[in-house]
Amino acid sequence: MKISNVDVKTLKEKYGTPLYIYDVNHIKRNMDGYLNYFKSNEFKTEVLFASKALNIKELIRICMEKKISLDCVSVGEIYTAIKTGFNPSKIYFHGNNKTIEDLKFALNNNVGVIVCDNLMEVECLNDLASSLNKNVKIMLRMNVGVDAHTHKFIVTAHIDSKFGVLYDSIDYKKILDIIINSKNIEFIGFHSHIGSQIFDLNAFKARAEKMVSYCKGFDKPLELNLGGGYGVHYTDADSPIPFDIVSKTLINTVEETLKAQNVKIKKLLIEPGRSIVAEAGYTLYTIGYIKKTPNKEYYFIDGGMTDNIRPALYQAKYDADIVGKENEKKDHIVTVAGKCCESGDLIIENYPLPEAKMGDLLITYTTGAYGYSMSSNYNKALTPAIVFVEDGKDKLVVRRQTLDELIEREI
């Protein structure tokens, strides 16, 4: 098996397992898909990468190359971007509970836009900006009430969500009063995000129509950030919407709604994350012991929930292959289990694979989003390396954690 003309077994010999592998050409194609189709003659457009999906220096360098902005949700993500050389004015800082220290860091590092999530944050930011004599651009995250059909833990727009402000609420009116009277805050527009791994275009259209209506009554054209959440292919049960259809649907919906409501906007933004990196990523494991019980057959791997928590957290599904046996008969219904001391440490359950032996390599697909980002040192597991491959060449971009690094902060 080869990825971007690089042999997977060679990567195992060179870097060991578990190993995250990314196809750089695939990432760039995905970025170009949004950049090429998310355009309008009626207003400016901007594509942001939702960096929580994979916030590492090498990926940020690709964003810089492609002139894609960044959505960051923590000081750590902002710090990584700045240390990579990313222009902080192109960073949008999100989060429902940014601390005073977080906000101060953003202001002192000239982060471009702070996306405020609630009344108290706006109050704190206004006081802080005044005390530091800083001017700051903000967007207001709105809870639009569009409930996308995703896993309950990744739905972010029901009425009692921890995210966003409800339109016409008392908090919303108070926020507008603060903005009007502030000398340091420049309100530039609204943001929303209705969930992740969404395949329903109607949800995106309904949200876009609501967002446009919020722009009425302001003395200047505002910006609208429609977030992300575009689904990807994990298994054949998933039906992702192509870049061109997603982009054109969003653009057309906003253009038509603006005309119908006699409103103008300055800019429309989106924040794809998963849909840029997920399908470009793979995780490579080495199979260890094989165990049969009265009702199950297990293939044990040298990774697990420490490098991919999503099956345990979201009951996420994945496809997989035994490297070199992709075309062999898949006549074993197996459960791929990790090495953590947890019964729930299962990567794939009841899945057809060929007969395996100790030392075989197992590869899981579409693991490019939230694998490394959500990895942990549970059971004192070491964080895997990340390798980027492109046109027959491989490049180590995150080295494997060492035992010394595992305890270096312990006193």
72, 95 contact by CB (below 8 A): no
- Residue 192: name the closest of 265, 252, 141 by CA: 141
Residues marked as catalytic: 341
| Helix runs in 133-242, H state only | 170-181, 201-214
Length of the chain, please? Answer: 411
Closest CA to 338 of 372, 365, 308: 308
Pairing of β 320-322 and β 281-292:
unpaired
Give the tokens for residue 338: 């990790």
CB atoms within 10 A of CB 299: 27
Between CA 30 and CA 63 the distance in angstroms is 12
- E strands, 234-342, where? 265-270, 281-292, 297-301, 320-322, 332-337
